[in-house]
């Protein structure tokens, strides 16, 4: 079992190497690359310029805490809002379409047209959707919301119908034999059975949309990307670096939130694990007790 | 229900020239060695597998007329016991037609009959094997189908649980339902069956329970 597996991996690696070799015309370009990178980071990016979390000079900040008037906060908040709205709208739109695109829920003559619709919305990257909506409705967050909603429908829709198709067939077969309607089958069997995957995909998509919010902001669709593109234009890489750190922190926080949300629907949630807070409390109490003795 | 000269199987024929009728109140035990086609026959009657040849005439309502308990039970693992049993009630009393009180009544009486009323809010994934079988039977009881197809639904149960399940199934029979059940254990056949279908040598042999007892007696 092991040998064929290693053989397949090695063959794939060789194939990838040959393809790369075919793509790259001059390997000499790699020479001095590391040096260029270290020069760029040390001279232009490092240290990050944390003025991005201080109040902007204009408009005048009327809040008690300066941070709430900063580029980092306002940009990130707008990106989060765009990502949140488009993820929710996209998730609902994707559920409607994917329930008709799964082959185990619908006959092929219905599933195929819905798959084509999802493929069409997915084939345009969110950046292109953003450019289209900026042209149609102008600069601003609405263009960002629409662009990311369309992309989310296509992307999540595919993940969802593949999840539905991969679910165990016995509960579906029972509901088919019993004569349950498509809506009941979908809402009462398919969604509870695949809830964990759907939530995971939803959180992944939210995180994806937050990260992509930076890219679509560059073409004028609002959010933190607008500030990144401005700083890039003025070669203020240290400020860009500070904003990238803020995005990284937010992405990690979303990941933690995802872990927490999913624990409600997984088997994992059945086993009570000690939380770090409880463990610290126990340690504190035992130390207190021993010191009192 | 009428089976008219059907052949069953997937890629190859497992049994052919099967013709039989099931009348209200009858309990058919389908017997035969493993892999002979018992489950395939049940799945063919349930409409999950097309017969290779012939017709299956169910003569029950399309919505809720047919109940099915597969070997793996087909429960929604991440939903509660109530949700699963309610699915049975929803099959015969769709939400769109109202009747929520009647549905609630059916679900609660099924939970009580199967002795699982204390587990109502528990997710199904946390239940033991015996409890799972009781939930699947409660789902069928709440559905009140005219024909129940059950694949080894009494296996792996202790005697007390078998009694509880049998009592619940008898409620269905009293309401005029018929049951086709796949079985391996002779004692379970004796508990419920009024007829036996034996699949042997690609053929289905139809016995009344008396004829079956005689055959078993002769073989012993």
Domain ranges of chain B: 1-60+146-220, 77-143
Averaged pLDDT score across all residues of chain A: 86
Calpha distance A283→B145 (Å, rounded): 59
Calpha distance B3→B59 (Å, rounded): 11
What's the pLDDT score for residue A90?
95
Residues of B with CB below 8 A from A177's CB? 46-48, 66-68, 149
pLDDT of A93 above 70 = yes
Q: Do A173 and B62 touch (CB under 8 A)?
A: no
Tokens coding A29: 């370009």
Whether the CB of B180 is below 8 Å from some CB of chain A: the reply is no
Binned at pLDDT 50, 70 and 90, residue B79 comes out as: very high
Domains contained in chain A, number: 1
Whether the CB of B146 is below 8 Å from some CB of chain A: the reply is no
Q: CB of B37 within 8 A of CB of B15? A: yes
Q: Kindly state the average pLDDT of the residues B140-164.
A: 89
Whether the CB of B88 is below 8 Å from some CB of chain A: the reply is yes
In angstroms, the separation between the Cα of residue B11 and the nearest Cα of chain A is: 20
Q: Could you tell me if residue A10 is inside a domain?
A: no
Calpha distance B183→B192 (Å, rounded): 11
Q: Kindly state the average pLDDT of the residues B159-186.
A: 88
Helix (H, G, I), strand (E, B) or coil at A220: coil
Tokens coding A254: 């979303």
Q: What is the CATH number of domain B1-60+146-220?
A: 3.40.50.300
What's the pLDDT score for residue A272?
57
Q: Which helix (H) or strand (E) holds B56?
A: strand B53-57
Q: Could you tell me if residue A86 is inside a domain?
A: yes
Cis link prior to A59 (omega < 30° from 0)?
yes
Q: Do B47 and A196 touch (CB under 8 A)?
A: no
- pLDDT per residue as tens digits for the range A153-207: 999 999 999 999 999 999 999 999 999 998 999 999 999 999 888 988 998 899 8
Q: Which domain range does residue A124 map to? A: 72-276
Q: Could you tell me if residue A185 is inside a domain?
A: yes
Choose the mutation target among B41, B71, B77, B78 for the interface with A, i.e. most A CBs under 10 Å.
B78
Residue of A nearest to B93 (CA): A180
What's the pLDDT score for residue A56?
77
* pTM of the model as a whole: 0.78
Question: What residues contact A230, with CB distance under 8 A and at least 6 apart?
Answer: none
Residues of B with CB below 8 A from A171's CB? 74-77
Q: Do A178 and B75 touch (CB under 8 A)?
A: no
Instruction: Classify residue B205 as exposed, middle or buried by CB count within 10 Å of its CB (0-12, 13-18, 19+).
Output: middle
- pLDDT per residue as tens digits for the range B93-112: 877 777 788 899 999 999 99
CATH of the domain at A219: 1.10.3720.10
- pLDDT per residue as tens digits for the range B1-34: 888 888 898 888 888 888 888 998 899 999 999 8
Whether the CB of B39 is below 8 Å from some CB of chain A: the reply is no
Calpha distance A120→A137 (Å, rounded): 21
Q: Do B66 and A173 touch (CB under 8 A)?
A: no
Shortest CA distance to B42 belongs to which of B179, B175, B173, B142?
B179
Averaged pLDDT score across all residues of chain B: 89
Whether the CB of A180 is below 8 Å from some CB of chain B: the reply is yes
Q: Could you tell me if residue A179 is inside a domain?
A: yes
What's the pLDDT score for residue A71?
86
Q: Could you tell me if residue A55 is inside a domain?
A: no
pLDDT of A57 above 80 = no
């Amino acid at each position: 079992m092991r040998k064929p597996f290693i053989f397949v991996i090695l063959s794939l690696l060789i194939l990838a190497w040959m393809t790369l070799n075919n793509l790259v015309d001059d390997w000499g370009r790699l020479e001095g690359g590391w040096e260029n990178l270290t020069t760029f980071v040390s001279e232009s990016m490092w240290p990050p310029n944390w003025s991005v979390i201080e109040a902007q000079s204009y408009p005048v900040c009327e809040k008690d805490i300066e941070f709430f008037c900063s580029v980092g906060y306002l940009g990130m908040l707008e990106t989060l809002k765009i990502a949140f709205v488009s993820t929710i709208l996209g998730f609902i739109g994707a559920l409607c379409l994917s329930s008709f695109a799964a082959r185990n829920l619908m006959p092929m003559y219905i599933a195929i047209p819905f798959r084509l619709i999802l493929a069409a919305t997915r084939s345009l990257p969110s950046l292109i959707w953003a450019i289209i909506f900026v042209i149609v409705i102008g600069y601003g967050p609405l263009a960002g919301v629409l662009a990311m909603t369309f992309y989310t429908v296509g992307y999540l829709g595919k993940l969802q119908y593949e999840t539905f198709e991969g679910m165990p067939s016995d509960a579906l077969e029972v509901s088919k034999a019993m004569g349950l309607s498509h809506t009941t089958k979908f809402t009462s069997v398919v969604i509870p059975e695949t809830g964990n995957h759907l939530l995971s995909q939803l959180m992944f998509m939210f995180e994806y949309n937050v990260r992509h919010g930076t890219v679509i902001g560059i073409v004028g669709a609002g959010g933190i990307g607008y500030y990144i593109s401005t700083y890039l234009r003025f070669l203020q890489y240290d400020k860009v670096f500070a904003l990238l750190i803020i995005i990284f922190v937010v992405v990690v926080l979303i990941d933690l939130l995802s872990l927490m949300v999913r624990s409600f629907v997984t088997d994992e949630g059945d086993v009570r694990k000690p939380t770090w807070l409880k463990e610290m409390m126990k340690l504190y109490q035992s130390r207190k007790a021993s010191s009192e003795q | 229900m009428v089976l008219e000269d059907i052949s069953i199987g997937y890629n190859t024929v497992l049994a052919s020239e099967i013709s039989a009728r099931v009348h209200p109140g009858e309990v058919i035990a389908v017997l035969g060695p493993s892999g002979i086609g018992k489950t395939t026959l049940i799945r063919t009657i349930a409409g999950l597998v097309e017969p290779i040849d012939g017709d299956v005439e169910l003569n029950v309502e399309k919505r809720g007329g047919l109940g099915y308990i597969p070997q793996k039970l087909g429960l929604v693992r991440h939903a509660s016991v109530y949700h699963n049993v309610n699915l049975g009630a929803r099959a015969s009393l769709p939400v769109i037609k109202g009747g929520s009180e009647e549905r609630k009544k059916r679900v609660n009486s099924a939970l009580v009959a199967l002795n699982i009323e204390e587990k109502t809010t528990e997710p199904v994934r946390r239940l033991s094997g015996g409890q799972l079988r009781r939930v699947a039977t409660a789902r069928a009881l709440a559905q009140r189908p005219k024909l129940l197809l059950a694949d080894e639904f009494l296996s792996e149960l202790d005697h007390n649980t078998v009694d509880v399940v049998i009592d619940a199934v008898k409620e269905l029979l009293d309401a005029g339902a018929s049951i086709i059940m796949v079985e391996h254990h002779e004692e379970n056949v004796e508990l419920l069956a009024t007829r036996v279908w034996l699949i042997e040598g690609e053929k289905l042999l139809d016995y009344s329970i008396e004829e079956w007892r005689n055959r078993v007696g002769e073989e012993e």
